[in-house]
C-alpha cells in the first residue's frame, strides 16, 4: 500500500518491526505505510501497544525497522536527511543544575548549529526563565524546553511523542497553541502521538489511527468525522420508516438512524413526505474523534 507522495515531509512505506525471537516474537508494526504532508499537524492515535512510539522511534532513527523504509522530504532517512527533523521522543532528560539557556547552548554545540538560542527561548515561551535552573521547572516548562531543544537545528519537521503527557489543563492549552503556531507561523510540519483525542481533534489536520501495528483509519480529521456522520429523523411513524428502509435504517434515540450519503438526504425526505409520513426533525449527527477511534480500534481485524 502506498500512501505517501512527493509532497510529504515524512513517508513511511511498508514498515515492519518485530521484538523478540521465535515463538515469542511480537510484531509491533505490521507493514505500516503513511505520509505526513508538508506543513501539516499530523496526529498518531491508537490504543496502548498499537505501535505509535515504535513508529516514531523508527522515524527518529532510534530503532531499525526489519522491513520497509522511511523517507524524509523525499530522501531516504539517514544522518543527513534527519538533520531536517527535530525530535522530542522520550521524556526529555535534563541536567537539573543547568539553566534552560545552558541546555540550548549545549544542544546547539552538539548539533554543530550556529542557531541563536535567544529566539528559541522566546519562541517556546520560556524566555522569562532562561537563566533558571531546570530543577525549578514545572513539567510544562520542561516540555517547552524539550521542544526548544528539538528546534535547535532549525528543523523543517518535528516529531513529538505524547507532548501533552502529564500536563495540567493550562499546560495542555499552552502546548496546543505552541504546536499550532509552529505549523502556522513557522511552517514546520508536526507529527505527534497522543492519547488525548479531543486534543488531537483540535490541533491536528490529519490523523492515523493504528491498531496492532496496522493502519485502522487515516485521513483528514474532518473527513473521518464526516465519513461516520449519521442521518437521524424523528417521525410520527418510525415503524413504517424502518420497514420501508429495511437494512438501511435502525431505531435509536427516539427516532430512526438512516445510512445514506449526504446527497441522498433531500430525496429521502421527499419520499417520506410523499408517503404521508410527518417529519418533526431531521439532522446529520457527526461523531467526535473518540467515537471514530472506538469504532476503528474495536473493529475485528480484517
Ligand atoms: N524494546 C522493546 N522490546 C520488546 N517489546 C517492545 C519494545 N518496544 C515496544 N515493544 C512492544 O511493542 C508494542 C508496541 O509498543 P509501542 O510502545 O510502540 O506502542 P504505543 O502505541 O506507543 O503504546 P502506548 O500508547 O502504550 O505508548 C507493545 O506491545 C510493546 O510492548
For residue 239, the model assigns a pLDDT of: 92
Mean pLDDT of 3-19: 85
pLDDT in tens, 74-130: 999 998 899 899 999 877 789 999 999 999 999 888 877 667 888 899 989 899 999
pLDDT at 113: 66
The mean pLDDT of the chain is 89
Taking every pair of Cα atoms in the chain, the longest distance, rounded to a whole number of angstroms, is 78
Residues 30 and 167 in one domain: yes
203 and 235 housed in the same domain: no
Confirm whether 298 is domain-assigned.
Answer: no
Q: Region 137-143: what's the mean pLDDT?
A: 89
Residue 297 in any domain: the answer is no
65 domain residue, yes or no: yes
Give residue-wise pLDDT tens across range 202-218: 899 999 999 989 999 89
Residue from 15, 17, 18, 19 to probe ligand 1 pocket by mutation (most atoms less than 8 Å from CB):
19
Answer yes or no: do 14 and 73 share one domain: yes
For residue 247, what pLDDT is reported?
86
- pLDDT confidence tier of residue 44, bands split at 50, 70 and 90: very high
Q: Whose CA is nearest to atom 25 of ligand 1?
A: 48
Burial-class residue 21 by CB neighbours within 10 Å (0-12, 13-18, 19+): exposed
Is 294 among the domain residues?
no
Nearest CA to ligand 1 atom 1: 19
- Pocket lining: 46 vs ligand 1, CB cutoff 6 Å: yes
Question: What mean pLDDT do residues 2-8 have?
Answer: 64
Query: What is the C-alpha separation between 223 and 220, in angstroms, rounded?
Result: 5
Predicted pLDDT of residue 24 = 82
- DSSP helix/strand/coil, 275: coil
Return the CATH number at 22: 3.40.50.300
Q: Give the tens place of pLDDT for each residue, 166-179.
A: 788 888 888 889 99
The count of structural domains within the chain is 2
Structural domain contains residue 18: yes
Nearest CA, atom 31, ligand 1: 49
Pair 275, 139 in one domain: no
**37 shares its domain with 135:** yes
In this structure, the answer to whether residues 157 and 207 fall within a common structural domain is: yes
Is there a single domain that holds both residue 242 and residue 151?
Answer: no
Q: Give the pLDDT of residue 174.
A: 87
pLDDT of residue 213: 93
Do 105 and 116 contact (CB within 8 A), yes or no?
Answer: no
274: containing domain = 230-285
- Is 234 part of a structural domain of the chain? yes
Q: What number is the average pLDDT over the span 7-22?
A: 92
The reply to whether ligand 1 has any atom less than 6 angstroms from the CB of 17 is no
pLDDT band at 2 (very low <50, low <70, confident <90, very high): very low
Q: What is the pTM of this model?
A: 0.84
pLDDT value of residue 220: 92
210 and 101 part of one domain: yes
Q: How many CB atoms lie within 10 A of CB 229?
A: 14
Atom of ligand 1 nearest to the CA of 63: 1
Tell me the CA–centroid distance for residue 28 and ligand 1, in Å: 7
**Ligand 1 centre and the CA of 49: distance in Å?**
5
Spatial separation of the C-alpha atoms in residues 200 and 206, rounded to whole Å: 9
Of the residues 225, 245, 270, the one at which a domain ends? 225
Domain boundary (203, 225, 247) is at 225
Are 70 and 115 within one domain?
A: yes
Distance CA 74, CA 72 (A): 5
Residues 109, 243, single domain; the answer is no
Polymer length of the chain: 302
Q: Tell me, in angstroms, the distance from the centre of ligand 1 to residue 53's CA.
A: 7
Q: Is residue 301 included in any domain, yes or no?
A: no
Same-domain pairing of 115 and 254: no
**Residue 3 located in a structural domain:** no
Q: Does 53 contact ligand 1 (Cβ within 6 A)?
A: yes
- Between 153-157, 159-163, 275-279, 297-301, the lowest mean confidence (pLDDT) is in 297-301
Residue with the smallest CA separation from ligand 1 atom 2 is 19
Pairs from 109-115 (Cβ < 8 Å, separation ≥ 24): 111/152, 111/153, 113/152, 113/153, 113/154, 115/151, 115/152, 115/153, 115/154
Residue 131 has pLDDT above 90, yes or no: yes
CB-neighbour burial class of residue 81 (10 A; exposed 0-12, middle 13-18, buried 19+)? middle
Please give the number of the atom of ligand 1 that sits closest to the Cα of 50: 21
Task: Based on the fold, state whether residues 256 and 194 are members of the same structural domain.
Answer: no
Amino acid at each position: 500500500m502506498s500512501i505517501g507522495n512527493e509532497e510529504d515531509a515524512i513517508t513511511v512505506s511498508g514498515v515492519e518491526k518485530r521484538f523478540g525471537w521465535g515463538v515469542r516474537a511480537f510484531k509491533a508494526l505490521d507493514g505500516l505505510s503513511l505520509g505526513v504532508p508538508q506543513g501539516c499537524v499530523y496526529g498518531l492515535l491508537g490504543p496502548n501497544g498499537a505501535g505509535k512510539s515504535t513508529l516514531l522511534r523508527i522515524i527518529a532513527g532510534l530503532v531499525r525497522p526489519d522491513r520497509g523504509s522511511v523517507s524524509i522530504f523525499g530522501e531516504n532517512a539517514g544522518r543527513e536527511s534527519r538533520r531536517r527533523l527535530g525530535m522530542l521522543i522520550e521524556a526529555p532528560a535534563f541536567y537539573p543544575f543547568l539553566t534552560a539557556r545552558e541546555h540550548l547552548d549545549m544542544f546547539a554545540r552538539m548539533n554543530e548549529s550556529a542557531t541563536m538560542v535567544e529566539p528559541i527561548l522566546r519562541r517556546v515561551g520560556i524566555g522569562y526563565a532562561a537563566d533558571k535552573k531546570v530543577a525549578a521547572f514545572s513539567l510544562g516548562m520542561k516540555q517547552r524546553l524539550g521542544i526548544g531543544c528539538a528546534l535547535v537545528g532549525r528543523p523543517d519537521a518535528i516529531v513529538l511523542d505524547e507532548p501533552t503527557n502529564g500536563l495540567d489543563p493550562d499546560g495542555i492549552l499552552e502546548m496546543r497553541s505552541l504546536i499550532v503556531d509552529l505549523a502556522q507561523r513557522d511552517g514546520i510540519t508536526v507529527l505527534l502521538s497522543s492519547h488525548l483525542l479531543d486534543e488531537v481533534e483540535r490541533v491536528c489536520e490529519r490523523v492515523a489511527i493504528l491498531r496492532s501495528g496496522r493502519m485502522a483509519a487515516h485521513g483528514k480529521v474532518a473527513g473521518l468525522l464526516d465519513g461516520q456522520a449519521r442521518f437521524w429523523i424523528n417521525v410520527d411513524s418510525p415503524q413504517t420508516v424502518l420497514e420501508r428502509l429495511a437494512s438501511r435504517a435502525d431505531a435509536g434515540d427516539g427516532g430512526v438512524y438512516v445510512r445514506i450519503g449526504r446527497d441522498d438526504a433531500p430525496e429521502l425526505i421527499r419520499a417520506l413526505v410523499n408517503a404521508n409520513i410527518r417529519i418533526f426533525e431531521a439532522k446529520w449527527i457527526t461523531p467526535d474523534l473518540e467515537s471514530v477511534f472506538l469504532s476503528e480500534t474495536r473493529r475485528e481485524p480484517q
